[in-house]
Structure 1
Amino acid sequence: MTGRGDAVVTGLGLLTAAGHDPDSIWKTMSAGQSLARKDPDLAGLPVDIACAVPDLDPVAELGIRLAGRLDRFAHLALIAARRALHDARLDPRAANSSRVGVVLGVGANSLQTYVKEFTRLGEGRATSVSPLGLPRSVPNMVAGEIAIATGARGPNFTVSSACASGTTAIGVARDLLLAGACDIVLTGGSESARSRMSAASFAQMRALSTRTTHPDGACRPFDADRDGFVLGEGAAVLVLEHPDHARARGATVRARLVGYGASADAHHPTSPHPEGTGSEQAIRQALADAGCTPGDVGHVNAHGTATRAGDAAEALALLRVFDSAPPPVTANKSILGHALGAAGAIEAALTVLALERQEVLPTANLTRQDTGREMDIVTTRPRTAPMELALSTSCGFGGQNAALLLATP
């Protein structure tokens, strides 16, 4: 590979419906079973199922004062960032903190708090609106709170490209490293999509699966009987470093980020281009950025939302890029649900784990493909798959696409 240059992954923090740490998450997901369940927070809505992060105690993790002034999406981000730094054996305060950046992907603000505060305002109780209504809800606060908690004083911001946000953030973080603006960037994404507003809106759009009586069979990426996604939540934070910096401090490298591509469909606010041209463009840009060919890729972690149009377009893109024969494919949302702006970061982290383990996680609920030319989608159980390079793809509303190429150390 002779691309623009690498960034290296030296730490991972991961919170999903499958657990709170990479090893337990991998073990749970290896069963190939969806984690969708009835969600009490969504009771009474037309679609009342979701994939929640289990047994998370923000007070125990963050303390009562900090947990009390943050919303769920910030809880997830801050806890994941702390775990990523611990995994990397890194303290930004002990480094040159002005060269430690934070770039997080967030698809939306915190609708839970906004709904509550707008209700008070609509009832004529303006003086009851919380002064924390804005600062605990705006998307940039995940990056700001991580900086406050860790002492990272470099470039600090969030990016929002809908369901591609986490992937976009990781690509932008690599750009900061290659541009010489940072030595270290904490990057990834965080989102809690389990708000009643999100559930009601997506249901009205007919984007959610309506298999509410059998939630564990609801999300069916690339399956002929798919009818939409399941809402999820989670966070993934990767510690990205310039290779020279990681080498100088003796860091353990978990993977290399060697390619990034992004594009716009320029087609429709919510539907992808039916031929998947934008997704294809992003993947080809990532390949060119890495200086490699489709034949070098040993695994694809697909966006795979289980929507009719989205899966069809993505399959066409992959079949064209890989000349009708993509390498082993998985779709993590079949198990974890769709964490929206965090999804791409979670899938990038899982791709790092796939490279480490030389395995591909299974896709749940796939019984019959309808993509014309069938892809090699892993089901039932993990599959051993020797690989040096893996692709993770994301797509979002507005026709925004992003792709990452990750490689073994």
Structure 2
Amino acid sequence: MKPISISAFASISPLGKTSEEVWNSYLDNEHRITKRDFKNFSEWTANISDEDKKHIEDIRNSDNKYKNLDDTVLFAIYASRKAMLDANWKEGDDFGINIGSSRGATALFEKYHQEFLQTGISSTLSSPTTTLGNISSWIAHDLKSSGPEISHSITCSTALHSLLNGVAWIQAGMCDKFLVGGSEAPLTDFTIAQMKALKVYSKETEGNPCKAFDLEKTKNTMVLGEGAAVVCLEKDISERTIAKVEGIGYATEVLKHNTSVTADAECFQKSMKMACKHINLEDVDAVVMHAPGTIKGDSSEVNAIKKVFGEKTPFLTTNKWKIGHTFGASGLLNLELGLLMLQHQKAIEVPFAEKQNQPKQLNKILVNAVGFGGNAVSVLISK
């Protein structure tokens, strides 16, 4: 691989809206999951704070054209503005944009569909504001970029696939800079009901609702969260470089079940080996896992890590016990955790997981994500 650097990253999530807020949130042992009332039920969710939602509303009200946009777009605009500012990119610069989402404009689509069922008439704006492509196109409009704009959905590995795509464009010499990431606002009645129908949603009544990376749990404990995260990729290394993208890996399993991967997550084994093929495996200091909080999802990924790394397993962590599963945005929120751990030289522990020793130093961190259908991605970042 040609050297590709990460020159900025930004997010908005239940952890906060700045890198400082996010890191401070990781330093405590409190989750950001609360009970939320829906039309027909009450369920655990991880929400962006009311204070931070005001910033989203400010964007919505800043332009008449933004008033009819879904939160997925507005979350992504907020994070993208911040990342572009931090990277010192300018309006009109020739940079690409690839922001994906698993569900896209979920709340808006459900609203328009309900109106159609009641009236038999579709709203004028129902199509352009609910297509997946409208996320990156509105960001391009907002940032006034002149490069390519791409949106896609590859379920829960969407955001890391966006990074792969940005790397590919830069490697091919088709672009020098790419803004990549994912955005998700899935906290709607129908989306929660779908996860409940799959019998993966948390029914915990005490303690932490999401037991991600608790390998002793006997029930599925997945919880949904919302948010967006992006990073700025640039060709070569410069004084702005925060971290390098040292390796990328991807793999798809042959489906044996609609939702789950194999017991040893063969897709993860392949993606991790590919991402680390140019280094000694012993040099990986930590792995930020996908770990969705389900029995099979957590255990299969840990099994895959042990298959790849053997007895010298790196430090393992995840953030879903804290912020829930943000579907298409989750991979980049995982990457954000990895970047913050590199910056602060501290590995974030999962409080109820088996105790691990803190790494003496953090130089290389592997970040994982996988989605329905066994679409695994692994990204190796380094100082």
Superposition TM-score tier, normalisation by shorter sequence: over 0.9
CA contact (8 A) 1:279 1:402 kept: yes
Residues 133-184 of structure 1: CA deviation (Å, up to 9, x unaligned): 1222211211111111112222211232111111111111111111111111
- Correspondence 1:178 to 2:171: yes
**Is residue 87 of structure 2 the alignment partner of residue 88 of structure 1?**
yes
Structure 1 equivalent of residue 326 of structure 2: 339
- Percent sequence identity over aligned pairs: 23
Name the structure 1 match of 2:281: 294
For structure 2, which runs of at least 5 residues remain unmatched after alignment? none
Moved over 4 A (4+): none
Compared CA separation, residues 43 and 360, structure 1 to 2 (3 A): farther
What amino acid maps onto 1:279 in structure 2? F
Aligned to 2:365: 390
Is the Cα–Cα contact under 8 Å of residues 44 and 209 in structure 2 kept in the other structure?
no
TM-score where L is the length of structure 1: 0.88
Q: Distance in 2 between matches of 1:60 and 1:123?
A: 31
User: 1:402 is aligned with what amino acid?
Assistant: V
Q: Give, in whole Å, the separation in 1 of the partners of 2:47 and 2:198.
A: 22
Q: Which runs of 5+ in 1 are unaligned?
A: 370-375
The alpha-carbon deviation at position 377 of structure 1 amounts to 5.0
What does residue range 214-233 of structure 1 map to in structure 2 within 5 Å?
214=206, 217-223=208-214, 224-225=216-217, 226-233=219-226
**Structure 2 residue 342 is matched with structure 1 residue 400:** no
Amino acid at match of 2:210: C
Alignment of 1:67-216 (within 5 A): 67-93=66-92, 95=93, 97=94, 100-126=95-121, 129-211=122-204, 213-214=205-206
Aligned to 1:372: none
- CA distance in structure 2 between the aligned counterparts of 1:350 and 1:43, rounded to whole angstroms: 34
- When residues 208 and 365 of structure 1 are mapped into structure 2, their CA distance, relative to the original with a 3 A threshold, is farther
The answer for the alignment partner of 1:314 in structure 2 is 301
Q: Which TM-score applies when normalising by structure 2? A: 0.94
- Paired residue for 1:284, among 243, 258, 273? 273
Distance 1:385 1:175, change over 3 A: farther
| C-alpha distance in 2 between matches for 1:130 and 1:328 | 51
Q: 1:13 aligns with which of 10, 30, 48?
A: 10
Q: Deviations over 1:335-387 (max 9, x none)?
A: 01110000001111221111111111122443xx6xxxxxx657xxxx56412
Matched, 1:38 2:35: yes
State the match for 1:348 in structure 2: 335
1:254 maps to 242
Contact 1:103 1:143 in 2 (8 A): yes
State how far apart, in whole Å, the 1-side matches of 2:119 and 2:27 are: 51
Aligned partner of 1:141: which letter?
N
Tell me, yes or no, if the aligned pair for 1:334 and 1:365 is still in contact at 8 Å.
no
1:83-109 Cα deviation digits (max 9, x unpaired): 00111121142x3x2xx1001121122
Deviations 1:295-344 (A, max 9, x none): 11111100111101111110110001111332111111110111000000
SS of 1:360's equivalent?
Answer: coil
Q: Name the residue aligned to 1:373.
A: none
Q: 1:364 to 1:145 in 2, by over 3 A?
A: farther
Q: Residues 377 and 61 of structure 1: is their aligned pair in 2 closer, same or farther, counting only changes over 3 Å? A: farther
Q: Distance in 1 between matches of 2:356 and 2:298?
A: 13
- How many residue pairs match? The answer is 376
Once residues 235 and 66 of structure 1 are traced to their aligned partners in structure 2, the CA distance between those partners, rounded to angstroms, is: 21
The alpha-carbon deviation at position 389 of structure 1 amounts to: 0.7
The equivalences for 1:350-369 within 5 A come to 350-366=337-353
1:364–1:197 CA distance, 2 compared to 1 (3 A): farther
Q: 1:258 to 1:38 in 2, by over 3 A?
A: same
- Structure 1 residue 50 displacement after superposition: 0.3
CA distance in 2, matches of 1:69, 1:377: 47
1:22 aligns with 2:38: no
